[in-house]
A and B are shown apart, each in its own frame.
Chain A
């Protein structure tokens, strides 16, 4: 499979900011902060890879290195086969950058004028640029508002325009840095749908999307990489990531008409996580007990419950929330 992005042993150290006192006492001492530490990552052509990490994890640094805005300290970074350090211009031609920074547009120009301006920086011939701008305006459903000033747009439209700008020179790869950061939940959902249907579906672009939004990653349900303190902790499909987290699953066991004694025994047990009363026909008592244990212990627990007089009607595993998987990876060094 063709690689759109290939990162090999990427490390980035930034010089540490010195206080006046430090600069005076140790003028030649160079302290560094490691932002990225030996990153290896491949993104295949036409795929969407979510780069999930908390604030300061290194997501933006990685995107800036891919965009050749920041130079790596060590390692190699290839975009469509071009080395971003040595062939920056060719690499930039292959990528479109989408940021959530609204100030990155000219506010007193219209949406169309903004796109025309950025098209000229890619040196598209006038006629081709105008055609491209029209296409993109149609793609983001901005036909009615294209000639309004940027300052008058809603955050949702601004973000779509940011995507249109990223696509202005028809790049193969889109780098998106928290595209839904400033959007309300509804607008964010609309944007995700737009990315999936129009950018990935119709345009077949490769997308590297950096986010700290777990819901976003679940919605996309594509390959994801969790980055923490400059290191990739895990990479794979969501199921693979969850499997690698090796967190104990939560199982729900449904019991019909439990006695008070049964309930108290369950609550005192070591496996007990949560219990709730759920509706049952004819006002009968039905409870669901959540237990957090490895799968192998479930038969023993059910056996115990039957011994305590419980009538078990169902048992199923609950899907592991991504929040839990994420916190597992960032709180430990599992991988």
Chain B
């Protein structure tokens, strides 16, 4: 078991060492978090009263609403695009074939090489929340952290399934992955990142049930801002579980097929 954990740990260490060597980029990321938080803070001054009825289920504060939406949508983006991006990056740099020649399975390589992005995103989200609470007065004193954690895990698992599906397209087509494009676009439009889903026309609200972002962000906001219990969040949890159960085996089968096809076509390491 200890030996098996070495692979993910090595990827995290390798990515951290590489990333930390770009010092300016590291600092700019931190500055970016502050600037985004400030932008949402001033934006919230404009929307606070006008959208009160739509924001009421989440406590009525637009800043808290959008900060959680923006911060946690990063998880969705990393899950959705991270796996495909890892494959693409390895193909472009030429490291891919040296990874595949080892005894480590491709799925382990793909998942392990995305871990650092998840850790970095977690740090970013933590910083967002700390800034929100300490500087901008966001209130998460009633938060149900256990429920939030469950939603978080299910968010990562459900969107990772889409991410693996997206990676399958990258393996075969290299560029032009429709899954990532479709779900990213839909997440921004109908996932409730910047505005509550209730302001959308009814047909778009119905369509939003097809996107895991809806269940994630709604569940996360209700858990953190309103302190909802696990029982109260069952519909969100069920939506994410349903996505994971259906998509995980499907995405893995498609990914294996994509790798086999690329090996037959000789394009696995091409870009």
A and B together in one complex = yes
Task: State the CA gap A116–B265 with chains docked (Å).
Answer: 32
A99 at the A/B interface (Cβ < 8 Å)?
Answer: yes
Q: Is the CB of A69 within 8 A of B97?
A: yes
Quick one: which of B21, B104, B266 contacts A64, CB cutoff 8 A? B266
A27 at the A/B interface (Cβ < 8 Å)?
Answer: no
In the complex formed, the residue of A with least CB distance to B4 is A123
In the complex formed, the residue of B with least CB distance to A105 is B95
Q: Is the CB of B4 within 8 A of A104?
A: no
Task: State the CA gap A92–B105 with chains docked (Å).
Answer: 11
B103 at the A/B interface (Cβ < 8 Å)?
Answer: yes
- If A116-B10, A117-B14, A120-B7 touch, whether A70 touches B101 (CB-CB below 8 Å) is no
A67 at the A/B interface (Cβ < 8 Å)?
Answer: yes
Task: State the CA gap A117–B12 with chains docked (Å).
Answer: 10
Q: Whole-angstrom distance from the CB of B146 to the nearest CB of chain A?
A: 34
**B-contact bits for A86-128, CB 8 A (1 contact / 0 none):** 0001001101010101111110110001001110111101100
Task: State the CA gap A126–B95 with chains docked (Å).
Answer: 22
Task: State the CA gap A64–B270 with chains docked (Å).
Answer: 12
Task: State the CA gap A104–B95 with chains docked (Å).
Answer: 4
For chain A, residues 121 to 137, give those with C-beta under 8 angstroms from any C-beta of chain B: 121-123, 125-126
B182 at the A/B interface (Cβ < 8 Å)?
Answer: no
Chain A residue numbers with a CB within 8 Å of B18 are: 106, 108-109
In the complex formed, the residue of B with least CB distance to A171 is B101
Chain A residue numbers with a CB within 8 Å of B31 are: none
Chain B residue numbers with a CB within 8 Å of A64 are: 97, 266
Quick one: which of A14, A104, A113 contacts B98, CB cutoff 8 A? A104
B263 at the A/B interface (Cβ < 8 Å)?
Answer: yes
Chain B residue numbers with a CB within 8 Å of A149 are: 21
Interface size class of B (residues with CB under 8 A): 20 to 34
Quick one: which of B10, B93, B97, B269 contacts A121, CB cutoff 8 A? B10
Q: Is the CB of A70 within 8 A of B14?
A: no
Interface size class of A (residues with CB under 8 A): 35 or more
B123 at the A/B interface (Cβ < 8 Å)?
Answer: no
B100 at the A/B interface (Cβ < 8 Å)?
Answer: yes
Quick one: which of B6, B14, B94, B98 contacts A126, CB cutoff 8 A? B6
Quick one: which of B4, B98, B263, B265 contacts A165, CB cutoff 8 A? B98
Chain A residue numbers with a CB within 8 Å of B14 are: 106, 109, 113, 117
Q: Is the CB of B102 within 8 A of A67?
A: no
Q: Is the CB of B6 within 8 A of A123?
A: yes
A15 at the A/B interface (Cβ < 8 Å)?
Answer: yes
Q: Is the CB of B7 within 8 A of A123?
A: yes
Q: Is the CB of B17 within 8 A of A109?
A: yes
Task: State the CA gap A116–B101 with chains docked (Å).
Answer: 16
Quick one: which of B6, B21, B97 contacts A120, CB cutoff 8 A? B6
Q: Is the CB of A101 within 8 A of B94?
A: yes
Q: Is the CB of B97 within 8 A of A97?
A: yes
Task: State the CA gap A310–B31 with chains docked (Å).
Answer: 91
Q: Whole-angstrom distance from the CB of A12 to the nearest CB of chain B?
A: 8
Q: Whole-angstrom distance from the CB of B58 to the nearest CB of chain A?
A: 42
Chain B residue numbers with a CB within 8 Å of A106 are: 14, 18, 95
B135 at the A/B interface (Cβ < 8 Å)?
Answer: no
Q: Whole-angstrom distance from the CB of A153 to the nearest CB of chain B?
A: 15
Chain B residue numbers with a CB within 8 Å of A204 are: none
Chain B residue numbers with a CB within 8 Å of A67 are: 97, 101
Chain B residue numbers with a CB within 8 Å of A35 are: 266
Q: Whole-angstrom distance from the CB of B121 to the nearest CB of chain A?
A: 21
B223 at the A/B interface (Cβ < 8 Å)?
Answer: no
Q: Whole-angstrom distance from the CB of A178 to the nearest CB of chain B?
A: 14
B130 at the A/B interface (Cβ < 8 Å)?
Answer: no
Q: Is the CB of A70 within 8 A of B10?
A: no
For chain A, residues 31 to 48, give those with C-beta under 8 angstroms from any C-beta of chain B: 35
In the complex formed, the residue of A with least CB distance to B9 is A120
Q: Whole-angstrom distance from the CB of B142 to the nearest CB of chain A?
A: 44
Chain B residue numbers with a CB within 8 Å of A69 are: 97, 100-101, 263, 268-269
Q: Is the CB of A95 within 8 A of B101?
A: yes
Chain B residue numbers with a CB within 8 Å of A122 are: 102-104
Chain A residue numbers with a CB within 8 Å of B95 are: 103-106
Task: State the CA gap A113–B102 with chains docked (Å).
Answer: 17
Q: Is the CB of A104 within 8 A of B104?
A: no
A139 at the A/B interface (Cβ < 8 Å)?
Answer: no
Quick one: which of A70, A97, A103, A123 contacts B263, CB cutoff 8 A? A70
Q: Is the CB of B101 within 8 A of A97?
A: yes
- 19 further A-B pairs in the complex, CB-CB below 8 A; given A70-B268, A117-B14, A123-B3: A15-B265, A64-B266, A67-B101, A69-B100, A69-B101, A71-B263, A92-B102, A95-B101, A97-B101, A99-B97, A103-B95, A106-B14, A109-B14, A113-B14, A120-B9, A121-B99, A121-B102, A123-B7, A126-B6
User: Interface on A for B, CB 8 Å cutoff?
Assistant: 12, 14-15, 35, 61, 64, 67-71, 89, 92-93, 95, 97, 99, 101-106, 108-109, 113, 116-118, 120-123, 125-126, 149, 165, 169
The 10 closest A-B pairs by CB, nearest first: A120-B10, A103-B94, A121-B102, A108-B21, A104-B94, A101-B94, A71-B263, A121-B104, A70-B266, A120-B6
